[in-house]
Structure formats: structure tokens, C-alpha cells
Amino acid sequence: MESQKEAILMTLIGVAKRHNKPYCFISQSKQLELLRRYHSWNICRRTLNRRLRELEDEGYFIRIRRHTEDCHGRLVLRSTLYKFCGKLFNWLEGLRRWIGRVFGVFAVPKWSQYQLKKQQVSLPPEPAYVEILWKSSNQGRASPLKAPYLKT
């Protein structure tokens, strides 16, 4: 079972990956829905804000509040922008390496794909004609059958 922080990071990364950006802006209600659907975490909005604050303090991303004004001059709040930092990408790289180690057990090691030169056996050169091979294997014995494809 993964922690709430990991689930939140995975959710934010998934949204950013879908749009092919190093940032995302997602509403809290959408985050809660995705956490519930994909990670089975049913948490309240306050807990989400608490975990987001902890992750921001740890340096995984920067939160930028977005807002505009409507035609009457009133403040209209928009979804928060999450700009990812290097620590998040380092965490992802560590996760990728861990998955590679877990599933890499079944892979053939790289060194086994190459044959060492010391272990190579040098074979005698092949004869130029099949006839030479035939004569050397019989060594002067008369063969009862003469192969029609051999040159004599």
C-alpha cells in the first residue's frame, strides 16, 4: 500500500504526463476524485491541502495560486499551478531504478551476451571441396558407392 504523499505525487505526475508538460494545474475536487478512483484514498479536502503543503515544503513542487478578476472587479479563483522541481524528477528516477531491479531479475545479464575471446576455440580451416573432405575421411579405403556429385 502506498502512502498518501506518493499517491498525490503520482496523481499530479499522471495529469502532467497526459498533457506532456513539466507542470499541471488541477482543481482540488479533481485531485480528490483521481485519488479515490486510482489509488483508493478517500480523504477530505483539508487532508489533501495538508499533504500538498508537506510536499511543497519538502521541495517536490512549487504551488502558484492563480486568480483573475471578473467584469465587476471581483476576485475569481482558478486552479492551483503545480510546477515540478528537481527533487520530484530524482524521486521518479529512483522509482524507475527500483522497478528495474525488481523486474530485472528475470533478464539475462549483459556480460553473458558476449563471448569472451579466451573461450573461443579456433577450428581448423574448412576444406575447399567436399571431395577433399571425402578422401580424408576414407583414407585410402575404396568406397562401395561413388557419389555422383563428387568430382573425381
Task: Determine the pLDDT at residue 129.
Answer: 59
Residue 49's nearest CA partner among 73, 65, 37, 38 is 65
Distances in Å between the alpha carbon of 67 and those of 73, 77, 78? 12, 4, 5
What pTM value is reported for the model? Answer: 0.62
- pLDDT for 69 beyond 60: yes
Task: Determine the pLDDT at residue 89.
Answer: 87
pLDDT tens-digit readout, 47-66 = 999 999 999 999 999 999 88
pLDDT tens-digit readout, 77-115 = 888 999 999 898 888 888 888 888 777 766 555 655 565
Q: Where are the domains of the chain?
A: 4-107
Rounded to whole angstroms, the maximal C-alpha distance in the chain is 114
CATH class of 4-107: mainly alpha
